Amino acid sequence: MEQKMVSLTIDRIPVTVPEGTTVLEAARSAGIKIPTLCFLKDVNEIGACRVCVVEVKGARSLMASCVYPVSEGMEVLTNTAKVRHSRQLTLELILSNHRMDCLTCARNAHCELRQLAADLGIDAVRYANDQLPPQVEATALHLVRDNSKCILCRRCTAMCRKVQEVGVIGCNDRGFATHVGCAFDRDLAEVDCVSCGQCIVACPTGALAEQDSTAQVMAALHDPNKHVVVGPAPSVRVT
């Protein structure tokens, strides 16, 4: 059966795409860039971070383009002052709950969060939480998790569950206490993680890093207030 096509305008450019396409994909097909953070095509399409918001004529609020389907005659604007302000504010709030030790972070040169902040012109965070302590878990042989850098985009959990079909990590607790980890907060070394490392690849920040690129762990280990538990070599846990 022939696929129904939908025509709309994005930034006043006429675009025609198959029905069911999201605004984000439609924009990309027209060469229009919309920033994203939690979005990972075909893996994590949950509209969580709201960095990709756009203005849709007639809609009462900004819409997350990564999960908003196109419709006939839709008029989308991706780069208005309102959109840019919303993205900046959203990112500032995300950064306010992210430990920023960028200079020593394993992700330093290829951090999506840092790049996005630069793209959006954010050079200071009004709500920064300078006291955020490291929350390092390094019991697995292959990776180190530091939840103080996790932005809860859930890309790692989607990768583990939907792509690798392992599903050993997920979101625990609710509200401000929400954090990514194993069920009942067990250590990664205690569950059936297959050490594929795909969660590290999916992570847009330094919340997940390979064991041998762990400047962040070393920083935590040198903190006299941290309690270090050494597991099967070379694993350690810092609490």
Q: Note the residues at the interface with ligand FES (CB under 6 A).
A: 36-39, 47-52, 64, 66
Contact between 68 and 56 (Cβ < 8 Å): yes
To ligand FES, the closest distance from the beta carbon of 63 in angstroms equals: 10
Closer to ligand FES by CB, 51 or 136: give it.
51
Contact between 163 and 43 (Cβ < 8 Å): yes
CA 185 vs CA 74, 119, 190, 191, 196: distances in Å:
45, 35, 10, 10, 20
Contact between 112 and 205 (Cβ < 8 Å): yes
To ligand FES, the closest distance from the beta carbon of 108 in angstroms equals: 23
Closer to ligand FES by CB, 30 or 152: give it.
152
Closer to ligand FES by CB, 36 or 235: give it.
36
To ligand FES, the closest distance from the beta carbon of 68 in angstroms equals: 9
Closer to ligand FES by CB, 53 or 188: give it.
53
To ligand FES, the closest distance from the beta carbon of 39 in angstroms equals: 4
Closer to ligand FES by CB, 47 or 231: give it.
47
Place of tokens 């990590």: 169
The DSSP code for 44 is B
| Residue among 57, 59, 64, 68 nearest 12 (CA) | 57
Closer to ligand FES by CB, 116 or 217: give it.
116
To ligand FES, the closest distance from the beta carbon of 47 in angstroms equals: 4
Contact between 237 and 137 (Cβ < 8 Å): yes
The backbone torsions φ and ψ at residue 170, rounded to the nearest 5 degrees and listed phi first, read -165, -175
To ligand FES, the closest distance from the beta carbon of 112 in angstroms equals: 11
Contact between 192 and 168 (Cβ < 8 Å): yes
DSSP bridge partners of 22: 69
Contact between 89 and 107 (Cβ < 8 Å): no
